[in-house]
Structure 1
Amino acid sequence: MLYDPNREWLSRASCRTVPPEVFFPPSGNQLRNEPSPTTKRAWEHAKKICSFCPVLTECRRDTLGEDWGVWGGLDEHERYLIRRKLGQGAWRRWPLERRIEWGEHLARLREQGHSVHHIRLTTGFSTAVCDGLIEQWRAWKAAQPKPSRTAEIVDLPIPDEPRPMQDFPEAPGSRHAWVRNGGLIADAWYAGETEDGEWVRLQVFSGRGNVIKWFRKDDVRVYNPQTPFYLEYAGRGRRERSAA
């Protein structure tokens, strides 16, 4: 989970039983200024309460965009410094998987019409950071291998009778996953999965060329994980949608 924009964890936070002024002392704007000793003492008192909070991690994760007060054990000046580092390119050092996941999510938020203010408040990301993450996601997506135009999509029933289980190779292949296909181990491209993860859709080579089939998750070992997207499996009654 990237973050919780609805902050459902607030109902379990320690601050719900503490007067708000403890976390929001009347010290004025301290974003770009080193706070005074009086303000620091007020913040330190609030941070002690945060340190015992059961949702400290979630609060710190989801309130980076807040301009005022103490949230998740961080004061407004500390959050400002983190946002400034992100704007200077700190996000570029994130693992690729995290950058791609954020880029896809931010692109979806913009397509849904969310304002710049809403995105900044819920994620802590400036417009420049959002642009950079979305650009990396689009470049990554464009570089992914496309299924062959001659590929044949086949939905074949999978027999229920026991099949001999072959061990997967230890080394990765040249695609996305190893799969047990017709008694053999095949190298396959990822092509989706069901929402519950019990079935995986893969493109494999057969005697007729490339085909896309459903496989049980126990018959698949992914060695090159891809951004998941969910599909309806025939007869399972699930709605097809993109992964969140």
Structure 2
Amino acid sequence: TVKMVREQINNQLKITKPQGIPAMKEQLIEAANYSLEGDGKRIRPILTWVMGVNEYGLDASAIVPLLRSLEYMHTASLIFDDLPSQDNASTRRGRQTLHQVHNSATAELTGLYLIQKAIGEQSSLDQFNAETVLALIQYSAQKAEDMCMGQAMDLDSKGKALTLDQLNMVCFYKTGVAFEACLVMPAMLAQVKESEIAALKKFAYHLGIAFQIKDDLLDVEGDMLLLGKPVGQDSDNNNSNFVSILGLEGASKEMWEHYCLAME
């Protein structure tokens, strides 16, 4: 399923260039497509597809705009995350980061462009109730605000020794809310009960933290060629993370703890 859906999503992501558009708009679209074409896992829209189609029986073609919007938002967040003013990464998804290929200004504008494209995609979910789509867009905007706060908290924590509770909070806002959105948005379209959405949020909380711990472990133990991004970034940037606080074994145990809580 993952392989099939990933292929479908990859085929739907490219932004087309209409005839007769200004040259600068063309350059923005090319920059956005460069970032989208990288070898991403597409785990967020895949989760949305599985929830929407397999669990709630939504029409696969009807939720394509939602899948695109999630990957556009995620890719925009990576573009900003990689900037010299933030994590200063040189590679992402197995290729040079956007600001390395162009410059920081182009990367910033491309990130903003992708966020607007994401909102446009969500507003085109025309096979669903308009009130539901409006609520979904409002929810999406709130999650984007939370992600910005999470990244700001992460940047502010550089050089500081965070407690485990503080790290969990940063990690949830930076990573967990995106997973929450991937599960909750198809549930909103399916108009499920509030109690089910609350359960999805709890699952996403633990899933997001487990995912981030694995990311921290791979930053120490991972292979750059397999990861498609540099290793040792957290140490270079003087970031507190689960490994620096708990050690390798402790972080691994904490990851499985959150995995088990998510499954429960």
TM-score, with structure 1 as normaliser: 0.30
- Rg larger for: 1
Task: Flag the structure with more relative contact order, 1 or 2, with Cα contacts below 8 A and sequence separation at least 6.
Answer: 2
Higher helix share: 2
Higher fraction of strand = 1
TM-score of the pair, normalised by structure 2: 0.29
